[in-house]
Amino acid sequence: MFKYVILIFSLLITSTTIQAQTFQSENTKTRLLELYSSQGCSSCPPAERWVSKQQSHPQLWQQFIPVVFHVDYWDYLGWKDPFSNRKFSQRQKQYYRQGAVSTVYTPGFIFDGKEWRGWYRGKSLPAKPVEVGILSAELNGDKLSVSFQHKVPLRLNVALLGFGIKTDVQSGENDGELFTEDFIVLNKQSLLSNNGEWSLSIKKTSHFNAQRYALAIWVNSTNSLQPLQATGGWIQ
């Protein structure tokens, strides 16, 4: 009898451990909202607070997905932003080279691959349903499998987002501020596929003390950063 109890208990643990989590867009386009920010920029905190409020939006993850990229070109002011990454600065500059933004600045919003200044004017995110196909992903342990209906060369992007991360800023323009930040890109992977299928290993946590994590997943063509479709959600 004792052996049977152990066997049942083991099966329950195994089934819980290997239970996969699914992320899937609708057929209409889910748009990526990118904020380029820095803890060293005094005008960035209001923009980040606005992004944080999107956690309660009823269409989060289906209509739009916010991601906050921290750039490194503010670090020279005396505060090394722990989230800053040169690759994120290069991504913003690539948008500029592709003509998607007028200049490189923070806080800078890019919505659906194009510069968006609506936040400065108190406007809501534009919504225009466009059918582009379904992007689906399955997270099984640390393995992520992604598929998109378009069988052409595309680049997959997967970002781990951190929420509720606190930082005590001790120098620079925001000296003395205690930040609690959300939708922060902690790491990002990119992978090319010729058939709309991807498989990769991901980290579901980071060394930052986040209260919770989420994934942002999107695809773009090989010659443009503009997202074609996106999906994502909370990591269980």
Residue 86 belongs to some domain of the structure: yes
What is the pLDDT at residue 132? 96
- Span 19-69, pLDDT tens digits: 899 999 999 999 999 999 999 999 999 999 999 999 999 999 999 999 999
What is the pLDDT at residue 157? 98
CA 51 to CA 35: how far, in whole Å? Answer: 8
- What pLDDT band is residue 102 in, cutting at 50, 70 and 90? very high
CA dihedral over 220, 225, 227, 233, signed as positive or negative: positive
Residue 1 belongs to some domain of the structure: no
Q: Which two tokens stand for residue 70?
A: 């921290």
Among residues of the chain, what percentage have pLDDT more than 70?
A: 92
Q: Strands 197-201 and 31-37, how do they pair? A: unpaired
What is the pLDDT at residue 7? 40
Residue among 190, 182, 189 at smallest CA distance from 214: 182
Residue 115 belongs to some domain of the structure: yes
Q: Give the bridge partners for 156, in sequence order.
A: 191, 219
CA 51 to CA 53: how far, in whole Å? Answer: 5
Q: Which domain holds residue 154?
A: 30-234
What is the pLDDT at residue 18? 59
Return the HEC string of the chain.
CHHHHHHHHHHHHHHHHCCCEEEECCCECCEEEEEEECCCCCCHHHHHHHHHHHHHCCCECCCEEEEEEECCCCHHHCCCCCCCCHHHHHHHHHHHHCCCCCCCCCCEEEECCEECCHHHHCCCCCCCCCECCCEEEEEECCEEEEEECCCCCEEEEEEEEEECEEEECCCCCCCCCEEEECCEEEEEEEEEECCCEEEEECCCCCCCCCCEEEEEEEEEECCCCCEEEEEEEECC
C-alpha angle 76/45/172, rounded to 5°? 25
Residue 45 belongs to some domain of the structure: yes
Residue 38 belongs to some domain of the structure: yes
Residue 18 belongs to some domain of the structure: no
Residue 114 belongs to some domain of the structure: yes
Residue 172 belongs to some domain of the structure: yes
Q: What is the mean pLDDT of residues 185-202?
A: 97
Report the number of distinct structural domains present in the chain: 1
